[in-house]
Amino acid sequence: MSTAANKPATIHLSDYQPPAFLISDVQLTVELGEENTLITSLLEFKRNAVDARQVRLHGENLALKNLSVNGIPVPPTEYTLSTTELCFLAPDDDFTVQIVTEIKPQENTALEGLYKSSGNFCTQCEAEGFRKITYFLDRPDVMATFTTTIIGDPDKYPFMLSNGNLDGQGLLHDGRQFYRWVDPHPKPAYLFALVAGDLACVEDEFVTMSDRRIKLQIFVEKGNENKCAHAMTSLKKSMKWDEEKYGREYDLDIFMIVAVGDFNMGAMENKGLNVFNSKYVLASTETATDADYDGIESVIAHEYFHNWTGNRITCRDWFQLTLKEGLTVFRDQQFSADMNSAAVKRIEDVQRLRAAQYPEDAGPLAHPIQPQSYVEINNFYTATVYEKGAEVIRMIHTMVGEDRFRKGMDLYFDRHDGQAVTTEEFVKAIEDGADIDLTQFRRWYLQAGTPEISVSDMYDGDSKTYHLTITQKNGKAEDLSDPLHIPVRMGLLGQNGADLLETETGDGSVLLDLTEKTQKFTFENIAEKPVPSLFRGFSAPIKLSKNPSDDAIDLLFKKDSDLFNRWEAGQRLATKILVDLTDTFGTDKSANNLPEYYLEAFAELMNDHDLDPAFRAAAMTLPGESYIGQQMQVVDVDAIHHSRKSSAKAIGLRFEKELQEIYDRNLGQKDYGRRKLKNTALSYLAATGKEDYISLSANQYKTATTMTDRVAALAKLVETDHSAREEALEDFYSRWEKDQLVIDKWFTLQAVSSRDKAMKDVERLLSHSAFTLLNPNRVRSLVGAFAAGNAVHFHAKSGKGYQFLSDQILALNKTNPQIAARLVSPLGQWRRYDADRQQLMKTELSRILEEENLSNHVYEMASKSLDN
């Protein structure tokens, strides 16, 4: 904990030193108790730096009960203890250390280290939580084999789980039970896990490519056994996919997943024992939406894929985080694209990148995917490290193609299995294995900011040549950066919309290597003046400013053979219209007229039955408010909201008949895409404000057989002040009162409503009996959803929204600093707003910084948000 006057230390990548000592083996005994939990660890040490004398172990909030070296107790005069370290002298090159610590997991509200959730013990050790369990070299380049013995009351904790394979279990003389687990794969402490509780277990099996039978177990709270099927299927698909796509086989006899209700993150890849936020395990059609199903599939895959990209090969230090996270996000994206509609998946990935990463990269907390410094590592599990990190891997994949990428990955696994490595070692392995020069490409790891691309063109009809000039500029204010190596996948469309380029791949696309600040590309034998389709499939995480394809953007919207770019064209077109419309806000100019060329293209798409319905739904959806805001000099939340709302209304009125038809035709369909299309139609119909469609929503709410349909309908009702609103909200609450994950949705729907009373609603919900700051999902469902998803009310001119958020941050700072810190970023966007709002937001950031016992987590986020 720190105050502004007592600044916490900054850790720099340039200060990295290999560990002075290594630990090769850990024998851990954990005696679980209601008052105290006792941890005894026996560590095999090895000197790693010739001149090292002092052993310095990490430890926080621990009561040290005993320290012995080579079996001899060390008296307190011969060790030193601080709030973060235990230091003593090494007797030799090799020695053993026994440490006994005592902790109180039941009082742990930060949910890091060993804690309790619904009466069960569980752990979260990444990044630096193991040091809250016992003293250790808690850094990822210290890898050890672990044997874990868990001891406790068999009635309270019939299941006792840890990493590796089960090596024994039984009863002790005193009536307590023990389970012993052996993990033969050396791992850093952050991958350690322990779970104990009275759980239900769902079991299955997977036969690997070399015919090994793996036991699969999902542990959930009793009563939830019937909500594990989708998670289990997703796990088996992931295991199969990693074998087929990357040749990676699972390496223990058992793979366990535990779902817990209190979890700071989404899920955690502990070796052989993944711990999940129950949100990413539990699903039934009545309680989970289609989006929830997708989330489960991708998070299960993500954590499973870490077994190779993260666990077998891990990070040397936390600056290398994108080594495992960027790569594993890329892998889970590939997996989901293979399992579902690839184009729709790509659209969703890009939407997420733009919504979360672009603002981060343009704001005070911008950092390269490999940061150079941090105060609190937990603040660096960011959209940049994850999503932009995945885009960087994807660009390499795009440049070398599927087969060579696989060769690069094979070499990476061969060369570094069992090691803790750097991103540089990854890039080198890909370079060697895939046979590509990535010298310039490496800059992506070191430069922050979203590159801005501008393009001009020239067609010479006489020589039938087409010239394209592409310029790149780093998006950060002063552009002192070196040019990046940017892969530009593109095609040329004729006036009828057909691809003009004949290419090897047959998809009408070529790949250009943009390596200079400004570069000219020439195309020969182009029969007519083409329309360029640039960055197909979003081949690089850049911002494309106005460019020649904008002049025929409706052609791209109607005809581009690249579905991503077809969607993108529709978004660009709509964004331009919506931004222009913000000018009419507050004037008496009618905003209900959308340009005819847009409506025409919209109609064409809406009625194109050859297209995947999920794609059609995505392409019919207007860009979100925050994306529109990103295109404005000063974000005007009210004007944006008005312009989007009135445009939706205009579309609803214009196409009322067609939308009703779509609604009727897709009602009651099992297909995910058709459900999405139907609910998109419902949105537009509801936007007309007609009473008929309030009834339609109310009726859909009442008769829904899936949570997708129920939530879609309720979301429409929650936007109104109609009596049907309260009726449905009450019904929803009483129907699902016992299901925490569903009640989270109930909070969120109200938190993001744009109706006038929303701020009051949110304040009232804060004192609702079901609200608690101690459960991260609940905090996200109300506070997080409000700050990130309710622009109009969060940015209310009164400043009440800002105050509300900082009040919650300060309260959470005391119990769960990680969650508190993650809520700061909306305030950090102050530069994007008008002067009054800027002042109000800065006032709240200063108020946060004045708090006496500010955690390092919140301190870093708030101080950087204010100063940088």
Q: 141 or 387: whose CB is closer to Zn ion? A: 387
Quote the CA–CA distance of 89 and 45 in Å, as a whole number.
Answer: 12
Q: Is 303 a catalytic residue?
A: yes
Under DSSP, is residue 308 helix (H, G, I), strand (E, B) or coil?
coil
Closest CA to 850 of 5, 145, 1: 5
Q: 386 or 736: whose CB is closer to ligand BES? A: 386
* 53 DSSP 8-state letter: -
Interaction partner, residue 126 (Zn ion, ligand BES, none; CB < 5-8 Å by kind): ligand BES
Quote the CA–CA distance of 486 and 392 in Å, as a whole number.
Answer: 10
Binding positions for Zn ion, 327-386, rule CB under 5 A = 328
Interaction partner, residue 230 (ligand BES, Zn ion, none; CB < 5-8 Å by kind): none
Interaction partner, residue 127 (ligand BES, Zn ion, none; CB < 5-8 Å by kind): ligand BES
Q: Residue 98 — φ and ψ, nearest 5°?
A: -115, 130
Mutual angle of helices 613-620 and 596-606, in 10-degree steps: 160
CB 310, min distance to Zn ion, A: 7
CB 714, min distance to Zn ion, A: 32
CB 58, min distance to ligand BES, A: 16
| Contact predicate 709/700, CB 8 Å | yes
Residue 108 CA: distances (Å) to CA of 2, 101, 173, 221, 504: 20, 15, 30, 20, 59
**Candidate segments 2-10, 134-142, 321-329, 587-595, binder of Zn ion by CB under 5 A:** 321-329
Q: Which helix (H) or strand (E) covers residue 387, if one does?
A: none
Binding positions for Zn ion, 51-90, rule CB under 5 A = none
Dihedral angle of Cα 233, 235, 241, 242, to the nearest 10 degrees: -170
Q: 325 or 431: whose CB is closer to Zn ion? A: 325
Q: 652 or 776: whose CB is closer to ligand BES? A: 776
CB 537, min distance to ligand BES, A: 21
- Return the half-sphere exposure (C-beta side, CA atoms, 13 A cut-off) of residue 843: 13
Residue number of the CB atom closest to Zn ion? 325
Under DSSP, is residue 44 helix (H, G, I), strand (E, B) or coil?
strand
Q: 101 or 163: whose CB is closer to Zn ion? A: 163
Residue number of the CB atom closest to ligand BES? 266
Q: What is the per-residue DSSP string for 410-448?
A: HHHHHHHTT-EE-HHHHHHHHHHHHT---TTGGGGGT--
**Candidate segments 217-225, 324-332, 333-341, 558-566, binder of Zn ion by CB under 5 A:** 324-332
Q: 126 or 709: whose CB is closer to ligand BES? A: 126
CB 209, min distance to Zn ion, A: 24
Binding positions for Zn ion, 586-625, rule CB under 5 A = none
Q: Which helix (H) or strand (E) covers residue 503, if one does?
A: none
CB 302, min distance to Zn ion, A: 6
Q: What is the per-residue DSSP string for 509-569?
A: -EEEEE-SSEEEEEE----S--EEE-STT--SS-EE-S-GGGGGHHHHHHH-SSHHHHHHH
Q: Which residues sit at the interface with ligand BES, rule CB under 6 A? A: 126-127, 265-269, 298-299, 302-303, 306, 325, 329, 378, 381, 386
Q: 325 or 376: whose CB is closer to Zn ion? A: 325
Q: Give the pairing of strands 543-544 and 373-374.
A: unpaired
Q: Which helix (H) or strand (E) covers residue 802, if one does?
A: helix 800-815
Q: 255 or 615: whose CB is closer to Zn ion? A: 255
Radius of gyration of the chain (CA): 28
Q: What is the per-residue DSSP string for 573-593?
A: HHHHHHHHHHTTTTSSS----
CB 329, min distance to Zn ion, A: 7
Active-site choice (112, 303, 387, 625): 303
Interaction partner, residue 69 (Zn ion, ligand BES, none; CB < 5-8 Å by kind): none
CB 861, min distance to ligand BES, A: 15
- Total residues contacting Zn ion by CB under 5 A comes to 2
Closest CA to 193 of 118, 284, 245, 255: 255
Binding positions for Zn ion, 728-767, rule CB under 5 A = none
Return the residue matching tokens 């809520």: 823
Interaction partner, residue 299 (Zn ion, ligand BES, none; CB < 5-8 Å by kind): ligand BES
Catalytic residue list? 303
Contact positions vs Zn ion (CB under 5 A): 325, 328
